A and B are shown apart, each in its own frame.
Chain A
Amino acid sequence: MKRYEQIEHTADIGVRVYGASVKELFKNAAFSMFDIIADLEGIRGSVEIDVELKAESPEELLVNWLDELLYNFYTKWIIFFDFDILELDGRRIKARARGRHVGENRNRLKTEIKAVTYHNLKIKEEGGQYSVEIIFDV
């Protein structure tokens, strides 16, 4: 099953992310964001960061999780491509993200994502399959 697909949005970039569990949904959402930011083809690296966050709802937690990674990208210049969701309930996440420093590889970068928006954000479940649509401001 595909991890995500791009959806039509006139001004910004939208994705529909899929997962067999909420954990996988969070993992695939992070992957989709960095797949838009950079060319992940054949990327390797072992820089790791640990993330622990809380929120009031699963949707807000999802935005916080993506925001945290985006913040780390823009301040530490790490392209993340692999994500271990260690613990997750509706209001708390503990995870590890792996990536590589941008360094001299600026030509890997494709798109500047300014922010993750809350626009119409809703995690849906149907027959044990999870999905969510996310709009990135670019």
Chain B
Amino acid sequence: MIWQGPLEKIDDWRWRIPKDYKQGMRVDGLLYADEEMIGDIRSDRAAEQVANVAFLPGIVKYSLAMPDVHWGYGMPIGGVAATDVEADGVVSPGSIGYDINCGMRLVNTNLKLEEVKPRLKDLVYGLYNDIPAGVGSKGDIKVSEKEERKLLAEGARWVVEHGYGRGEDLDYTEEHGEIRGADPDAVSQRAYERGKAQSGTLGSGNHFLEVQVVDEIYDEEAAKVFDLEAGRVTMMIHSGSRGLGYQVCDEYSRDMIKCLTKYNIDVPDRQLACAPVNSPEGKAYIGAMKCAANYAWANRQCLMHLARSVFEKVFKASPRDLGMDLIYDVAHNIGKLEKYNIDGREKLLFVHRKGATRAFPPEHPELPARYKKIGQPVIIPGDMGRNSYLLVGTKKAEETFYSTAHGAGRVLSRSAAISRCRGRSIARELESKGIIVMSSTRDTLAEEAPEAYKDVNRVVDVVHSAGISKRVARMRPLGVIKG
């Protein structure tokens, strides 16, 4: 099925869905893509979903889609929408996603490719053994309910104070890994139960931990600030809030279906259920969503700590001596209250990013001092056979509410990927390219085969060329642990 709606070319990287496409759209849709990607975008229902998001009450400027956009539920993956809080703007749980604060973490080392290569197998096996992953895996942190409530309020700080990592890690985590306003009372008993025993687990599906090597530097000045150079080994972690976040989104999405009648809201898909940010329902969801976000930062902090310990065992040196500093941790499924200048007036907006990365420009007050001059690090992973990128935010990205892409974006469904890979060993194919992959769940490697994804290089080309973020370094995978 090819989507037949209007996509007007604005320039080489921007495409508009005019708001008269569908009655009820409050703003235009704006997609970032090159000419060729538009073909992929038309082949599923993502563009229709961009138009549907434009129905959200209080939405300002545009319903946005990043170049890795693909068909999701409600809002597409790769969608961004900002609503004006004072103009009865809404918060929509499905437009943040079930995996609240799914995000990326990039860790440096001082190891060179030649030092890691001979020990790569030991390193990957060690990571596979020590990092709980896959359906039904249990984590390292066992806490009582009382302690878990503290973890939800304090996020990554709580786990650092319990011995998982060091204080300066928090300086390089979005919101210091502890977003304010988290309300543990807004989290249901069921969500607690699903989250229990899952802190410090990777998850499954597209979640991963990857050892990689920097193979190209685009911006020497920024790379110097990050202490990166070609040939340097880095580590990337992709994980989220596990069962706790899924349960929070699920319950509040259900409750907010009732809000559609209560607040007289018209949206074309139940999955876009929402409530005004300032309503009791909106506030309760935001309090719970922040708990799940903190849980996810705690989780990635814990995963990094476990991985550092594996490096320590394999290379017989402390993580500090191995230079294993956190470069940055950034969410790509989250809702944030941020201020923007709209038509000459400063407004408080609720920015939904679902499969989109925040990309603050240089001099932004929320950046760590070391990054003030270069802008916020943006971490964009690719598939396990190609590249991943480190970029930085730009002033130009104000047009996207300082948001950019989050990954490659799928082109094949999971079942199509499995049937295409039947009879092949993805692990062996990647090994022949020098990449060791291990997965604890059956079918994951076929579902996640490189050909199931768009080429991340092209996604990054678009955001770089459109100016909404700037390339700094490119990495390629050496070893990958999948859930």
Give Cα A102–Cα B247 distance, bound, in whole angstroms: 21
CB-nearest residue of chain A relative to B447?
Answer: A111
**Which residue of the partner chain, among B71, B134, B250, contacts A11 with CB atoms under 8 Å?**
B71
Q: Does B20 contact A (CB under 8 A)?
A: no
B415 contacts A10, CB within 8 Å?
Answer: no
The reply to whether A115 and B249 form a contact with Cβ atoms under 8 Å apart is yes
What is the CB-to-nearest-CB distance from A28 to chain B, in angstroms, rounded to a whole number?
18
Q: Is B73 a contact partner of A77 (Cβ separation < 8 A)?
A: no
Q: How far is the CB of A13 from chain B (nearest CB, A)?
A: 6
The reply on B271 being an interface residue by CB < 8 A is yes
Contacts of A11 in B (CB 8 A): 70-72, 77, 410, 413
| A63 interfacial contact with B, CB 8 Å | yes
- Of the listed stretches A19-27, A43-51, A92-100, A117-125, chain B binds A117-125
The reply to whether the CB of B205 lies closer than 8 angstroms to some CB of chain A is yes
Query: A121 vs B98: C-alpha distance in the bound complex, in angstroms?
Result: 17
Which residues of chain A come closer than 8 Å to B246, judged between CB atoms?
Answer: 114-115, 137
A3 → B minimal CB distance (Å):
16
Q: Are B273 and A118 in contact (CB under 8 A)?
A: yes
Kindly report which residue of chain B lies nearest to residue A59, judged by CB atoms.
B270
Check if A110 is an interface residue, CB within 8 A of chain B: yes
Question: Does B483 lie within 8 Å of A112, measured CB to CB?
Answer: yes
> For chain A residues 84-118, which have a beta carbon within 8 Å of chain B?
102, 106-107, 109-112, 114-118
Q: Is A56 an interface residue (CB 8 A)?
A: yes
Q: Which residues of A contact B249 (CB under 8 A)?
A: 115
Chain A window 123-135, contacts with chain B (Cβ cutoff 8 Å), 1 for yes, 0 for no: 0000000000001
Instruction: Give the CA-CA distance A121 to B268 in the complex, in Å.
Output: 12
Q: Mark A63-83, 1 if CB is under 8 A from B, else 0.
A: 110010001001101000000
User: Quick check: B73 and A10 within 8 Å, CB to CB?
Assistant: no
A12 at the interface (CB under 8 A from B): yes
Residues of the A chain whose Cβ atoms lie less than 8 Å from the Cβ of B225 = none
CB distance from A57 to the nearest CB of B (A): 9
Inter-chain contact A109/B135, CB cutoff 8 Å: yes
CB neighbours (8 Å) of B134 from chain A are 106, 109, 112
Residues of B within 8 A of A74 (CB): 194, 243
Considering the complex, give the chain A residue whose CB is closest to the CB of B40.
A10
**What residues of B have a CB within 8 angstroms of the CB of A107 in the complex?**
442
Docked Cα-Cα span, A114 to B98, in Å, equals: 7
A119 CB, nearest partner CB in chain B, Å:
3
Contact B410 A64 (CB under 8 A): no
7 A-B pairs with the lowest CB-CB distances in the bound complex, closest first:
A119-B73, A117-B73, A118-B270, A109-B135, A112-B204, A114-B246, A115-B98
Listed by A's residue number, 29 A-B pairs whose Cβ atoms lie within 8 Å are A8-B416, A9-B71, A10-B71, A10-B413, A11-B70, A11-B71, A11-B72, A13-B415, A56-B257, A64-B254, A67-B250, A71-B190, A75-B194, A107-B442, A109-B442, A110-B135, A111-B441, A112-B441, A112-B483, A115-B246, A117-B73, A117-B98, A118-B257, A118-B269, A118-B270, A119-B271, A137-B97, A138-B205, A138-B414
